[in-house]
Structure 1
Amino acid sequence: MTDWLADDVAVVTGGASGNGRAISTTLAEHGADVVVADIQKEPREGGDPTHELVESEYGQRGEFVECDVTNMDQLENVFDAAEALGGVSILVNNAGITEDTQFLDETEDDFDRIMDINVKGPFFAAQFAAERMVDADREGSIVNIASISGIVGRGNGVVYSASKGALRLMTYALAASLGPYGIRVNDVSPGVVETSMTHDDLGMFETDAAEQYAGRTPLGRVGRPKDIGNAVLYLASPLADFVNGESLVVDGGATNSHGIESSEDE
């Protein structure tokens, strides 16, 4: 494996399970020490805790910090833990929640919870990280995990789409704000990825929805967490030194091919 990230300390929110677990281990595989920030240390899919895997499988330092990203004190604890490892240089805002709710059934509590976790959390995590990087005169990378639902609206997830659209535009604004300090900000926008969240929270893999989605995807499958980990690795690595304020869509070509497909069918 390359040592592209040998001098880096990464913070991954929601890093214990699913995409966050794959992101954490992929960054460690290429040399980063990793602070896993999550509400629980046990992976939803089972197995060793992610921070332990970072150490046992990849020989990097791993730390777990219990963190609800809407809690400012807990967020600050995360970046204090990163300072103890040498200081954050990579932040991955992966923590987030989704929904399968019709618009007329959405409540104020639904709205507040989704926007707090998916927008407020990444905003202040980025602020904490940027403050540490700027104070240390340290260049770095922030990668937000958005969604294709922030590009193409989803009718059974209006608040979710709004939150991921906000995160995508926040990415562009942060890139403009932090670029002069040598801090790059980009996002990864996944399509459907097979994780515990899509299994258990959305129930996608208990119906034919995932098969239908895969059938509409040029590459013929849904995403895997490692696909997201690899995309984050690219954006965090020296390979992307001149990439700033961009959205990397990781969906097998589904989003940009649906329009062509439908027009041919008409």
Structure 2
Amino acid sequence: MALLSGEAAVVTGGSSGIGRSIARTFAEHGADVVVADVVEKPRDDGTPTHELIREETDAEATFVDCDVTNRADLEAAADAADSFGGLSVMVNNAGIVGPVGPITDLDPDEYDRLREINIDGVLTGCQVAAERLIDRGDGGSIVNMSSVAGMVGYANIAPYSLAKGGIRSLTYSLAAELGPHGIRVNAVHPGVIETEMTRADFPIVGTEEGEALEETNPLRRLGRPEDVANVVTFLSSDLAGYVTAESIVVDGGDLHTA
């Protein structure tokens, strides 16, 4: 069943990890995809996402060099969807873990970089998408990538939790504001997902901590990028036509069974 047939989507951070899986799943469901990222190749040095989509599906795909801290880049990514019929789905997925450690050791410059990407980049992505979706006049969907860290507090990642919690509140505000235009805005909150971010940037996968998490998770495994991509696909489709201002947790049950 092609849930996104005829849709044109922009996925920021679409070259690797969760974003790559979202872009590929969208294409499998009939959407044409703009992969917006600061690098074209995935972090594992595989085939670029847009090329893989063209090889594996009937969908169209293109890559746009996009730094989400630069409004002009986000506008260029949204404009690229015009060649696919005009933007109808925006996924603000790009993000970084940022500084890890005690709040007393926080480097202001590192925090500024996290804020620019994880908060300002999402806000601007929403603004750029909203302008086009309102002009288009046919509704649409915005999905913002948050985290379970945006719902509960974890030690030593306060800036990341702050940013992800902000995305949650932003999502609710924009759902109220854009709802009269038929535009739905939702947030997705992944738990520990097996990506290069959780292998290298904030090492959990393959560690004793990761093994312990698997043993206590109700489903007895860590998440996979496709677990998140499937939820984002649902939220972007007509199946979720009456779903907005929601925070959907994708963590195998960890958050609510701890």
Pairwise same-fold verdict (TM > 0.5): yes
Distance in 1 of aligned mates of 2:209 and 2:102: 17
Equivalence for 1:70: 69
Distance in 2 of aligned mates of 1:165 and 1:57:
36
The one-letter code of the counterpart of 1:66 is D
Percent pairwise identity: 49
Q: Deviations over 1:29-69 (max 9, x none)?
A: 00000000000010112321101111110111101000110
- 1:1-266 equivalence runs, <5 A: 2-99=1-98, 100-258=100-258
Which amino acid counterpart does residue 140 of structure 2 have in structure 1?
G
Question: For residues 169 and 194 of structure 1, what CA distance do their matches in structure 2 show?
Answer: 26
How far did 1:206 drift?
Answer: 4.4
Partner of 2:205, secondary structure, is helix
5+ residue gaps in structure 2?
none
Q: Aligned equivalents of 2:176 and 2:237: distance in 1?
A: 19
SS of structure 2 residue aligned to 1:74 = helix
Letter in 1 for 2:196: S
CA shift digits 1:96-140 (9 cap, x unpaired):
001432211111112211111111101111111111111121210
**CA distance in structure 1 between the aligned counterparts of 2:173 and 2:212, rounded to whole angstroms:** 35
CA distance in 2, matches of 1:85, 1:144: 22
Which amino acid counterpart does residue 61 of structure 1 have in structure 2?
E
Distance 2:9 2:251 in 1: 24
Q: How much has 1:80 moved relative to structure 2? A: 1.2
Structure 1 runs not aligned, ≥5 long? 259-266
Distance 2:180 2:190 in 1: 28
The AA in structure 2 aligned to 1:72 is R
| TM-score, scaled relative to structure 1 | 0.94
Query: Contact 1:18/1:45 (CA < 8 Å) preserved in 2?
Result: no
Q: Distance in 2 between matches of 1:183 and 1:53?
A: 30
Amino acid at match of 1:159: P
Structure 1 letter corresponding to 2:129? A
Deviation at 1:84, TM superposition (A): 2.1
Give 1:76 shift.
1.1
Superposed CA RMSD: 0.9
Output the CA distance in 2 between the equivalents of 1:127 and 1:138.
17
CA deviation digits over 1:146-187, x for unaligned, max 9? 000000111110000000000000000010010000000001
How far residue 74 of structure 1 moved from its aligned partner, in angstroms, is: 1.0
Q: Structure 2: which amino acid aligns with 1:247?
A: S
Counterpart-to-counterpart distance in 1, 2:173 and 2:11: 21
User: Which whole-Å CA distance do the structure 1 matches of 2:44 and 2:247 have between them?
Assistant: 28
Q: Would the aligned equivalents of 1:193 and 1:224 in 2 still touch at CA under 8 Å?
A: yes
The one-letter amino acid of 2:97's match is: T
Q: Which amino acid aligns with 1:38?
A: D
Q: Distance in 1 between matches of 2:44 and 2:257?
A: 32
The size of the alignment, in residue pairs, is: 257
Equivalent AA in structure 1 for residue 50 of structure 2: H
Deviation (angstroms), 1:205:
2.5
Give the distance between the partners of 1:253 and 1:203, measured in 2 at CA.
21
TM-score normalised over the length of structure 2:
0.97
SS of match in other structure, 1:204: coil
